[in-house]
Amino acid sequence: MNFCFEKVINFLPMRYQKVCQSRRLAFRYTQILAKCKKDALVSENLSELYSNQRTLFGRGSLDKLVPLLTARPQPTLLFCGQSFLQGPAYARLKAGLNDHIIGYEIVSHEASPAEIDGWVARWRGHVDRVVAIGGGSVLDAAKAFSAMVQHPLPTARYLEKVGDTAVQPITLPLIAIPTTAGTGSEVTQNAVVTDQRDIQIKASLRHPVFVPEVAILDADLLKGAPDRVLATCGIDAFTHLFEAYLSGKGNLFTRQLALTGLRQFVQAWPALNREDAAGDEAREAMMMASWLGGVSLSSAGLGVIHGIAGELGAIKPFHHGEVCGRLLFPFLDLLSDSEQPLQRKLMAELHPQLFSETTDSPAQFLKTVAAAAGDHPILAGWPFTEPRRGGVDSGASQQQKFAGELQPRTDADDDRAGLANHGVIRSRAVRLH
């Protein structure tokens, strides 16, 4: 498969392309691609499943949190977002939580090594358990703290890519409660840490014991989320599942997990933001898809899309789900032309498992399904709207237009025009400003 770097980044808005045009990201992309091609040559692999010791699933399952804390009384630190503290769920649980929670940290973005070290300095020796309620950034921050509070050195020393010290298999007990459905962080063994200021790195602290001890999956926590959040997080979940399904490191076990999640995504997507019984079912399905995405990526790994998205996130605060969504369509285009036997076989097998129609190629049909949201309000939250000016031949079908280089509502006209230009890898300093 010809994953031409210039071709792939040309599907990103101009503000993303400028970040991509550096020796640093081009070199990292080459590394990612080489690893993916190597993995694609492997047909069957040993897989290992690491999961929560206990997983509570179902609407209203958040109400089990206080009984869980009461059953094993310990001084507990809460990680959450500001919106949770201002919402009805916290108001309902506050009295019960106050008996166990000795303090909280509000998280609004991906945590940096310095922030994690600050939390460790503030709370070490005072807490024996952690509860995390929020999106992926909140959960990752709590996972990182839970591990680093048990380690003697600064966080950066243990980070993948840049660290010089292996993590130890020790962490505080963590109860993870996602309020978005996308990252699957409630079941993964890594905690993402991002430093965009000093070392410009997005890397993980990783060990199987870092999987949260308990996960509570309550789809009612997704109610009222903005359409854009539902959509971009959902696309992150889809990309986890899709890349894990196609991974050369996968096998029957991991692909069946990913396939189950992909089915749940297809079921959930059309009704994700509805405020009725169908919406409740859709949000439960997406919550399950997200959890399965976390299990799948931990077992089989990810691919090119997340490789690029991760490097972009190390430099600028781009929304991870939006970047994944933007890269998904060119990736599907490239898959349509793939000459790699394993990928062609897996795509051919995936298609009838998800859809009854068989007129298009599997990759093309997935693009059509994504474009077929039509006038449904969830489309307002999708990372794409109308195709850019001059981007596609006027005679192309609506599905083909949607699958072309697309533009978010917030981009300026000059960004739209800039998408017509191919990205060129220019010689620039490694550090971007």
- Quote the pLDDT of residue 326: 76
Number of other residues whose CB lies within 10 A of the CB of residue 164: 9
Place of tokens 């077992």: 299
State the amino acid at position 124 in one-letter form.
R
Least confident of 107-121, 242-256, 327-341, 399-413: 399-413
What is the rounded average pLDDT for all residues in the chain?
77
Q: What is the DSSP letter of 63?
A: G
List all residues 6 or more positions away from 139 whose beta carbon is below 8 Å from its beta carbon: 79, 132, 176, 178, 183, 185, 186, 212
pLDDT per residue over 122-147, tens digit each?
999 999 999 999 999 999 999 999 99
Q: Give me the pLDDT at residue 433, please.
A: 22
Q: Which of 55-59, 63-67, 407-411 has the lowest mean pLDDT?
A: 407-411
| Span of 48-62, 77-91, 286-300, 407-421 with lowest mean pLDDT | 407-421
d(CA 227, CA 267): 17
Strand segments, DSSP code E, in 289-418 are none
Q: What is the CATH number of domain 54-222?
A: 3.40.50.1970
Average pLDDT over every residue of 96-117: 95
> Has residue 424 got a pLDDT over 60?
no
Whose CA is closest to 201, among 115, 299, 292, 311?
Answer: 311
Span between the terminal Cα atoms of the chain, in Å: 33
pLDDT band at 29 (very low <50, low <70, confident <90, very high): low
Contact 135, 287 (CB under 8 A): no
Domains of the chain, by residue range, sit at 5-46+226-418, 54-222
pLDDT band at 43, cuts 50/70/90?
A: very low
Q: Give Dmax (Cα) for the chain.
A: 67
Q: pLDDT: is 308 or 179 the higher one?
A: 179
As a whole-number percent, the residues of the chain with pLDDT over 70 amount to: 72
pLDDT of residue 89: 93
379 three-class SS: helix
pLDDT band at 173 (very low <50, low <70, confident <90, very high): very high
Give the H/E segment covering residue 8.
helix 5-9
Question: What residues contact residue 235 under an 8 Å CB cut-off, 6+ apart?
Answer: 182, 321, 322, 324, 325, 328, 382, 383
Residues 243 and 217 sit within 8 Å (Cβ to Cβ): no
* Tokens 């998205």 -> residue: 309
Model pLDDT for residues 201-241, shown as the tens digit of each residue: 788 999 999 999 999 999 999 998 988 888 889 989 999 99
Alpha helices for 149-226 (secondary structure H): none
pLDDT tens for each residue of 266-282: 889 888 889 999 999 99
Residue 126 exposed, middle or buried by CB count within 10 Å (0-12, 13-18, 19+): exposed
Q: Which tokens go with 394?
A: 């006027």
Q: Is pLDDT at 24 greater than 60 in this prediction? A: no
The most confident of 14-23, 180-189, 190-199, by mean pLDDT: 180-189
Whether 54-222 and 5-46+226-418 are alike in CATH topology: the answer is: no
**pLDDT for residue 222:** 95
Residue 119 is which amino acid? W
Task: Inform me whether the pLDDT recorded for 108 exceeds 60.
Answer: yes
State yes or no: pLDDT of 36 exceeds 90. no
- Kindly report, residue by residue over 142-169, the tens digit of the pLDDT: 999 999 999 999 999 999 988 999 999 9
Q: Examine the pLDDT at 20 and tell me if it is beyond 90.
A: no
The token pair at 187 is 């079941």
Q: What is d(CA 295, CA 394) in angstroms, rounded to the nearest whole number? A: 43
Instruction: For 274-304, write each residue's pLDDT tens digit.
Output: 999 999 999 999 999 999 999 999 988 887 7
| pLDDT tens figures, 346-397 | 888 887 788 766 656 656 656 665 555 434 444 444 444 333 333 323 222 3
Superfamily for domain range 5-46+226-418: Dehydroquinate synthase-like - alpha domain (1.20.1090.10)
